[in-house]
Amino acid sequence: MKYLTKTDIFVISLLLAVCLLPIFGNKTINKDKTLLLLIDNRIYELPFKRQILNLKKEYGVNMVVEIDTDRARIIESDCPQQICVKYGWVEECGEMSVCVPNKTAIQIKCEQRKEIDGISQ
Amino acid sequence: MGTLAKTAASLFFTISLFIIAGCSDSKQYNTRSFYEMGTIVDITLSSKDDSLINELNKKMESWENEVSQFSENVNNAIPGKSIPVTEIIYNLLQQAEYYKHLSHDKFDITVATVSRMYGFPEGPFRIPDNKTIQKKSEDVGFSNLVFDKKRLIKKTDLKIDMGAYAKGYIVDKGIEFLKKEGIKSAMINAGGDLYTMGKKGNRKWHIAIKDPDNKKEFLSIIALENKAVATSGNYERYFEENGQRYTHIFDAITLQPVNNYKSISVISDTAQRSDGLATVYYLMDVDKIREVCKKEKTPVLIYTLQSEKIKLCGWQEYEISN
Amino acid sequence: MEYHNRIAKIGLFAAFSIILGVFENFFPLPFPGIRLGLANIGILLSLYTLRLSDTMIVVLLKSLFVSIFAGNLVIKLLLSLPSTFVSAFVMYIYIRLTDKYTSPISTSALGSLTHIICQFIILKIFVIKNLAIYSFLPYFSLISLLTGIFIGYLTCIVLKHITAYNN
């Protein structure tokens, strides 16, 4: 049985490039962050202000989200594996914490701020 | 096999280098600023054309001198004296006539006779009494200027100010010069009256309209290519007395300063037209603007005194979301 | 004899996968939501030593039983079964095309990447429709690429012993 071959290295670096290229093009500078709460096919925007939000009453899922000024995390959930709770803070563009059994996720959405070339006044 | 893998690997890395290099374009533009025409003029060129900026700056300065020298000559001359007219001046005078006609006499460069009494454009500002204004009202009127391609004679003791659109005209002359030098992509912004030539790299030029109420926001962001935009507002040159705002824009019929809107922005094919029409529209009510901008085919953004945005004649088509 | 050998191997690899798959639930990686994919060793082994149809039986058994043991049968099955099938099939094609020049390391890396991409797509289509997967998928795929390489390496070792035994 052969171990790592040259073609292996080539294929792996190709796959690596496929993974890395989108990351390079995805800088957080000049972007407006918003916090989204996604439940099934519903979509809500949560304000970035310090608070602990129980999703039970308003959104009907047994979860608690902690929001900071520019990040958020799920701190309680009734799902068995607790993957979303273990995930911790989400703060980068596109970063998400997903609770699959509850069909619920929090995710950071970023919008590129357009570069302004001139101002008319 | 070994060579095949090597070739493939080197090919792959070359391609990725190109991809990474391709991501960082449109950065090689330089903007330089000068103080001209009583405002900051920004000239943005691709850095390889940078050497032209000084020459352009000198040219714009000389055109501005030509215009301000002429205005000064007219304003200091006694009625009946002949004042020489150059090609630039003749063009500007013709435009004055056109705007006067378009605005049904509300726009008139000789209204400076009255606005000077208020202290415009530089101050100190004061409110002249009605009698003095009435006494002068006979002298005001574009028809009191007699001119041809060579000379101009003022029939009455009046003053002129072509500031409303001369700035735009000089921007256009600057663009014309750059075009002659073979430049394909540039922007000249004279204190908010600007022209965008070509594209910036592979995209259009992004222009924001200032929000006078909120420094962090813009009224609108538009993408332009070979178009001009200019804004007339009540927030640039004005003074306040007894809670009333006196702007630098005067109605030649009432001989009073008008405070109709917070700002009006106009997109058109030349900076001179945008500049002039922004002032002309400022003097009109919304219904009249709606009618005229359709005829003139110029998109307009009106920001009313109640902070309401009114977009007319296809302004939305230029807008990009931020 | 050949037939019995095959059946035995299917059972062996499936059992191997199921045990590892359940076992690794107790040893989570520092990245929640991502597992090492030890169960994938069994699938790789069957891809290298059995037919495609046999491998698909291993895939089916592994997905079914790991999901049962992990709880949340329906959700787990929904996420794991299609991704595992697709990833096994992609690996099968890859082996058919490049077996002469490659080892299980790149096969496993490719399979691992395919698996995570499939999971994200399923997540978006069936679970949370508004999830913007494309911006964050690269980070996950990077990690799964690494775990894939590691699993491929382990497979190499096991495979070496199997072939030595067979000979």
Measured distance CA(B61)–CA(C100) in Å, rounded: 74
Among B199, B150, B165, B158, smallest CA distance to B46 is for: B199
Residues 6+ apart with CB under 8 A from A112: A30, A31
In the DSSP assignment, the letter for residue A113 is P
Of A13, A111, A120, the CB nearest to B231: A120
Among C53, C50, C41, smallest CA distance to C15 is for: C41
Best A7, A10, A11 member to test C by mutation, with max C CBs in 10 Å, is A11
The predicted structure's pLDDT at residue B14 = 45
Q: Give me the torsion for CA of B251, B253, B254, B255, rounded to 10°.
A: 60
Sheet holding A96-99, edge to edge: A42-46, A31-39, A104-112, A96-99
Identity of residue C2: E
Query: Beta strands of chain B (E only): which ranges?
Result: 29-36, 39-46, 82-84, 145-147, 151-154, 186-190, 193-197, 205-210, 218-224, 227-233, 238-241, 244-247, 250-251, 256-257, 261-268, 300-304, 309-312
CA of residue B88 relative to chain centroid, distance: 17
Query: What is the three-class DSSP state of B19?
Result: helix
Q: How confident is the model at residue A1 (pLDDT cuts 50, 70, 90)?
A: low
Measured distance CA(C134)–CA(C111) in Å, rounded: 19
The predicted structure's pLDDT at residue B2 = 47
Record the tokens describing residue B293, joined without a space: 């901008």
Sheet holding B145-147, edge to edge: B82-84, B151-154, B145-147
Q: How confident is the model at residue C41 (pLDDT cuts 50, 70, 90)?
A: very high
The predicted structure's pLDDT at residue B259 = 94
Q: What is the mean pLDDT of chain C?
A: 87
The predicted structure's pLDDT at residue B73 = 94
Please name the residue of chain C whose CA is at the shortest distance from the CA of residue A90: C136
Residues 6+ apart with CB under 8 A from B99: B107, B164, B165, B276, B277, B279, B280
Chain A residues with CB-CB distance to C156 below 8 A:
1, 3
Is the pLDDT score of C158 beyond 70? yes
Alpha-carbon distance A46 to nearest alpha carbon in chain B (angstroms): 20
In the DSSP assignment, the letter for residue C56 is H
Query: What is the three-class DSSP state of B258?
Result: coil
| pLDDT tens-digit readout, C93-119 | 999 998 888 999 999 999 999 999 999
ipTM of the complex: 0.81
The predicted structure's pLDDT at residue B70 = 95
A93 and A108 Cβ atoms separated by less than 8 Å: yes
Of A14, A118, A119, the CB nearest to B12: A14
Q: Quick check: A13 and B12 CB within 8 A?
A: yes
Highest mean pLDDT: which range of A79-88, B96-105, C22-31: B96-105
Record the tokens describing residue B68, joined without a space: 């301000």
Please name the residue of chain C whose CA is at the shortest distance from the CA of residue A93: C135
Chain C residues with CB-CB distance to A21 below 8 A:
138
Chains near C with 3+ CB pairs less than 8 A apart are A
Query: Beta strands of A1-56 (E only): which ranges?
Result: 31-39, 42-46, 51-54
Helix pair C52-70, C73-98: axis angle to 10 deg: 150
Q: How confident is the model at residue A24 (pLDDT cuts 50, 70, 90)?
A: low
Measured distance CA(B93)–CA(B152) in Å, rounded: 10
| pLDDT tens-digit readout, C134-155 | 777 888 888 899 999 999 999 9
Record the tokens describing residue C92, joined without a space: 């099968």
Chain A residues with CB-CB distance to C132 below 8 A:
94, 107, 109
Phi and psi angles of residue C88, each rounded to the nearest 5 degrees, phi first: -65, -40
Q: Quick check: A24 and B20 CB within 8 A?
A: yes
In the DSSP assignment, the letter for residue B238 is E
Q: Does A44 touch chain B (CB under 8 A)?
A: no
The β-bridge partners of C102 are none
pLDDT in tens, chain B (322 residues): 344 455 445 445 544 544 444 444 445 888 888 887 778 899 999 877 778 888 999 999 999 999 999 999 999 999 999 999 999 999 999 999 999 999 999 999 999 999 998 988 887 888 888 888 888 888 999 999 999 999 999 999 999 999 889 999 999 999 999 999 999 999 999 989 999 999 998 889 999 999 999 877 889 999 999 999 999 999 888 888 888 889 999 999 999 999 999 999 999 999 999 999 999 999 999 999 999 999 999 999 999 999 999 999 999 999 986 5
